[in-house]
Amino acid sequence: MTPDLEKLLSDHGIRPTANRLMIASALAGAGRPLSMTELETMLETIDKSGIFRALTLFREKRLVHTIENSEGIRYEICHSCSDHDDDIHAHFYCTECGRTLCLEKIPVPDIDLPQGFKKSSVNLVVTGICPQCSHEK
């Protein structure tokens, strides 16, 4: 495990155990948001409940973003270390291959809610066919 991941976990107030480092490494190395099932497949030595507990802690400590689409929840490392999340961006869900991809250059617009509403998160997912699947057809 890289010292950078240990520091990232520590910066978010998370004790860097071996399992947490393996999960964070899988998320950081994927280059795209991953589902719980994908993490289970990648991390055969960690049981489902261990992965779930780590992801729950990562969410509480704002180490991961969650992206919800028609296939469920996906997780990705958040590179922001503050209470204000400046790492929010749009995502693309491919209906052909089922991958969710980051669209980092496309920011999520700030939503001005009516009085009395309090925003906890914003999720912008564009659905369609990715370039790789379009090319294969």
- Listed by start position, the domains of the chain span 3-136
Per-residue pLDDT of the chain (137 residues; tens, 9 = 90+): 455 899 989 988 999 999 999 999 999 998 888 999 999 999 999 999 999 999 999 988 888 888 887 778 889 887 654 454 555 778 888 888 888 887 878 877 888 899 999 877 777 888 899 998 988 76
The one-letter amino acid at 121? S
DSSP class of 82 = S
* Structure tokens, 100: 């969710």
* Structure tokens, 95: 């209906």
CATH class of 3-136: mainly alpha
The HSE-up count of residue 121 (CA atoms within 13 Å, CB side) is 14
Sign, Cα dihedral of 43, 39, 48, 82:
positive
* Structure tokens, 93: 């869900």
